[in-house]
Structure 1
Amino acid sequence: MKQRLFSSLRSLQHENPLGLPRSGAPPTVPRMQRGLPQQRSIRDVRKVIAVSSAKGGVGKSTIAVNLALSFARSGHRTGILDTDIFGPSIPTLLNLSGEPRLSSNNQLIPLSNYGVKSMSMGYLIPEASPVAWRGLMVMKALQQLLHEVDWGGLDVLVLDLPPGTGDVQLTITQQVKLDGAIIISTPQDLALKDAIKGVALFNKVSVPLLGLVSNMSAFICPTCSTSHPIFGSPAHIAKMCEDQKLRLLGEIPLHPSICVDADRGKPTVVAEPDSLRAKAFESIAKTAGELVGL
């Protein structure tokens, strides 16, 4: 199966994508195509929501998977696509492993847990193996993940984007019809500066911004219930949203259970469905769903 999926990627190693001379002849410069790639919908998917953060380490994947689980608990047919080729997180978060099977039409069949379908590069390579690929191979793999998966009919697909504003983000925004994007940040100034770059990217490519989620917004003392902002004042988030004309979709508190639940492959919405933390995820998913017309 992996031989079929990546045969085209390996063939790139034997091509000459940079046009370098092989026998003393001057290199040829390919003619650039005019305009942007044609956007198209993901087959059998009604709505596509991208979850993004321009900075790593802000809990984006944990939030993405909890939002997907919240959509599923609301009765929506839900999937999540891990578009981080180099550092996939979804297999761990959903406690899934193993190679996907192929459908009758030669498409990858997603793996499922907790009522959510998922696809990730983490299912296709050994967990300890690095993905030591250059750009062309990464883009080819991404296109296969986007358009060669048999989702079997979904109401909503959550795209867990890698950190940054580079090739992967541009490829997705230019080739896939996105119904909206959610920005994840902590209240820390350093994270907010990068989040603004993410906002600018989506504005530049005309993707609707559904709003911002403030993660690790504050630590709630379990004994006195006092709120302690660890990574910065909530006022920083409020000002950033006001300046960027962003909706604040919700705030997720800093709580050790969220991390523990994620690491053991049973996210908060499943592990503690009646907790205030799970309710916060469900509220964000409800608002986002309403904004895209779910």
Structure 2
Amino acid sequence: MRTVYLNGKYLPENEANVSVFDRGFLFADGVYEVTSVLGGKILDFDGHAVRLERSLNELGMRNPIEKADLLAVHRELVRANDISDGMIYLQITRGNPGDRDFAYPSDDTEPTIVLFTQSKPGLADSPAAKTGIKIISIEDQRWGRRDIKTVQLLYPSMGKMMAKGAGCDDAWMVEDGHVTEGTSNNAYIVKDDKIITRHLGNEILHGITRKAVLAFAREAQMKVEERAFTLEEAKNADEAFITSASTFVMPVVEIDGEAVGTGTPGTVAARLREIYLTESRKAAI
């Protein structure tokens, strides 16, 4: 049975309970982060901690835990649950004000903080990295502040199910003819040796893996262009791929039933995945 962290305590998962009046449950009034663990070490912790603080600030929510203490919790959960490869999920909500009200509760309402692990043996050795994934396109119907990593994930979940129903792996969301991002990942294409991905703004999540991958790409003298690209551009690209904390760099070989490039994983995505995993393992803590 897993050990989880809830409001300052380490508990067996079946003893960890949150109030029915918690605003995360009633209003999706909360934020989250997911960090990867490889070889028992945590990847990109600093980046996730910084983004967590930003998300909380954007929602006017108090952070109930200091960065150093948060790292200690991550490490203890890895130890307690004997995680070699896997994920650590963190969620902070505005807490339990004792009743339901659209208005935010008073500042003395304690936020709720939850962390738990998911064991994923062989996380970095996914067979999909060698075969690529197939995606569909769907209309982006999410709210406008996608840069805040909130727990309101219903439409991305619907998108995952639309993809599954079409016999595919994921969906890219499209707004005004341009790709925003995947259901739980950032989206990229490669054309004439240039990596193209949407610029930062309120329309997409500011991915931690995205930031690292683009930095590594530039260090490797790869060309990078941050701009919106159309669905048609994606279908006519030489390569396509996604990035996220759990998939790292994952090639996309088909969009809406049409092969991307040769219909097989491309060299740019493969090289970026190799660089990211190598460098991230070195920097893991």
- Name the one with the larger strand percent: 2
Which has the higher relative contact order, 1 or 2, with Cα contacts under 8 A spaced 6 or more apart?
Answer: 1
TM over 0.5: no
TM-score, normalising length from structure 2? 0.25
- Name the one with the larger helix percent: 1
